[in-house]
Amino acid sequence: MSTATSVSEVERKYEASSDQQLPALSGLPGVDGEPRRDTVQLSALYYDTGELLLLRAGITLRRREGGDDAGWHLKIPAGADERTELQLAPDAEHPETEVPREFTELLTAVTRGAALNPVALISTDRERQRLVDAAGTTLAEVVSDVVIAAVPETGTGSDERVWREIEVELAAGDRNLFDAIDSRLTDAGITRSDAPSKLRRALGDAVTGTPRPARRKKGSAPRTLLLEYLAAQKDSLVAADLGVRRDLEESVHDLRVSARRIRSVLQVYGPSLRDQETVDELIVELRWVGQALSSARDTEVQWSRLVDRLGGAEEIPDREVVRARLDEYFSGLAATARPAALAALNSQRYLDLLAGLDTFLAAVEASGGSGPSKKSVAKSLRALSKSVHRRVRKAAAATTRAERDELTHRARKRAKRMRYAIESTRSLAPKASDRAQTRFKGFQDVLGEYQDAVVARDHILAMVAEDQHSAESSLGLGMLLQRELDRGDALAVEVKPEWKSAKKVARKVWK
């Protein structure tokens, strides 16, 4: 969907006084000769909501003038020292001060629909040193910036701040060069900056109340662990939302998993954190958003699965014809699944869910003493184990495929709930929980593969039932169907022993 250019930015920032000199940067690993030097003047107008929601999420949005990349820049966290930068070139037909629609829609889950307005004007006098290899390829850039930030005040005039900082941005070089530059700077007394961006430093006083992730401590109460877990999963959901809107691989899956994790924890522990009505409302809405994206996820999984299965089935004749039929069918589903997913993410219902999660977490944090005891956590996990056991036993005793499919799916859903319930309170029994999660992965892999085989059969039957397809594709699809039936039968035999093994290990979590 995106017309923006995406680049990966690997960068470190350093503090420097006005009289500190950069050390010599020649002789570094892979660097040829002396750095290539130049100067540039930059000016950037930064945008955010009134509550600085972008900055609080580690995101910056600016419109830059000057340099090699004038235009709109949106920077999204992507790991340690790394951000994804989306760039849009200036558009003569677009108002200079109006945030492009592509970016406002992309940021919906972060801004919750709030307007984006200028929050700071930052000018930079930059001295740049480019470190190149023997072929002239830029390996890294080291820049010395004198920064002037004009920040609006609540009244007349503005608050102007001036400082100097050093930035090191990796280009074609590797992490060894990155670390070598860091050592040179550190030896010269130049230290890493605590501010992740110029804007964060410019608006430091305005974001002193920015919530920071809680850190697990030995002996933490279950309530603290659950609050941290739920907050982290909410942040993961919003991060995955950005990926879905950018059409990144696995992002739909990541969003649904975050929603399922939150829902599972609320189903198990929610009533001890807040009132039942509030918890039930959130569970319903989390289930809705998962279902709203299920078609998009199912399409990408099943398309890839059946293409792979076909590739491994040499006995199927006319595989090119069958492959064409698969592509035709799933491309049609994808054409409707993605717009439906985006419609859900752009809906007021979805924004209300995000707001509801914020309200819920704030209320739990403010409540102080609410939450389950360690004893009640253990009791909940024992009850879940018994529930999974009953469902596995019923699935094993099923007399028809249809009955087995339904009962196995029910066991799978309850097993996921148990897995996330253990995961969310891991610090109560770290070693036992880690071992349980390892065994649960094998158990859930079997259940997940079984469910994929069931869904694949439904898609194959739907393809065969459609008009205007050849006899060759029907034959091949029929043979694929039989392979999925056989695969399901084989997996069904593995479910009970896998559960027995997982249960044996998991039991130590609550003992």
pLDDT at 371: 84
Angle (CA) 353 357 359, round 5°? 115
In degrees and rounded to multiples of 5, residue 188 shows phi and psi of: -90, 5
pLDDT tens-digit profile of 165-211? 999 999 999 999 999 999 999 999 999 998 888 999 998 766 654 44
Asked whether the predicted pLDDT for residue 217 surpasses 70, the reply is no
State both tokens at 30: 């892979």
In a 10 Å sphere around its CB, with 0-12 CB exposed, 13-18 middle and 19+ buried, how is residue 270 labelled?
buried
Q: Which helix H or strand E contains 474, and what residues bound it?
A: helix 471-506
Which of helix, strand or coil describes residue 340? helix
Q: How large is the average pLDDT for residues 289-301?
A: 95
Q: Kindly report, residue by residue over 55-70, the tens digit of the pLDDT.
A: 999 999 999 998 888 8
CA distances from 140 to 125, 128, 133 (A): 19, 10, 10
Residue 478's identity, in one-letter code, is: G
| Residues 40-66: b if buried by 16+ CB within 10 A, e if exposed | eebbbbbbbbeebbbbbbbbbbbbbee
Cβ atoms of 323 and 472 closer than 8 Å: no
What percentage of the chain carries pLDDT values higher than 90?
A: 82
% the chain with pLDDT above 70 = 95
pLDDT at site 213: 44
Report the distance separating Cα 386 and Cα 381, nearest Å: 9
Cα separation, 338 vs 332, in Å, equals 11
Chain segment 441-481, per-residue pLDDT in tens: 999 999 999 999 999 999 999 999 887 778 888 999 999 99
Distance CA 325, CA 333 (A): 13
Question: Is it the case that residue 354 has pLDDT exceeding 50?
Answer: yes
Higher pLDDT, 352 or 152: 352
In the prediction, which pLDDT does 156 show?
A: 46
Using the structure block, give the residue that is written with the tokens 């993410």. Answer: 345
Per-residue confidence band for 428, with pLDDT thresholds at 50, 70 and 90: very high
Distance (Å, whole) CA 25 – CA 181: 7
- The structure tokens 């993961």 sit at 236
- Averaged over 475-500, what is the pLDDT? 95
| SS3 state at 59 | coil
Instruction: Return the pLDDT at 153.
Output: 67
Inform me whether the pLDDT recorded for 92 exceeds 70. Answer: no
The closest of 412, 417, 352, 351 to 380, measured between CA atoms, is 417
- The shares of helix, strand and coil residues in the chain, as percent rounded to the nearest 5, are 55, 20, 25
Domains, the chain: 5-206 (2.40.320.10), 222-507 (1.40.20.10)
Residues linked to residue 158 through DSSP beta bridges, in sequence order: 152
Split at pLDDT 50, 70, 90, the class of 4 is: confident
Q: What pLDDT score was predicted for residue 212?
A: 46
Query: Tokens representing 380?
Result: 């909940």
Q: What tokens appear for 250 in the block?
A: 């696995």
Q: Which tens digits make up the pLDDT trace of 32-63?
A: 999 999 999 999 999 999 999 999 999 999 99
Residue 247: count of CB within 10 angstroms of its CB: 13
The pLDDT score that the predictor gives to residue 205 is 64
Assign 100 to helix, strand or coil: coil
How much is the pLDDT for 489? 96
The pair of three-digit structure tokens given for residue 365, joined into one six-digit string: 């944090």
pLDDT reading at 115 higher than 80: yes
Residue owning tokens 């200079």 = 96
pLDDT band at 89 (very low <50, low <70, confident <90, very high): confident
Question: What is the average per-residue pLDDT within 282-300?
Answer: 96
Q: What is the rounded CA–CA span in Å between residue 273 and residue 371?
A: 5
Q: pTM for the full model?
A: 0.90
- Rounded distance between C-alpha atoms, residue 104 and residue 333, angstroms: 27
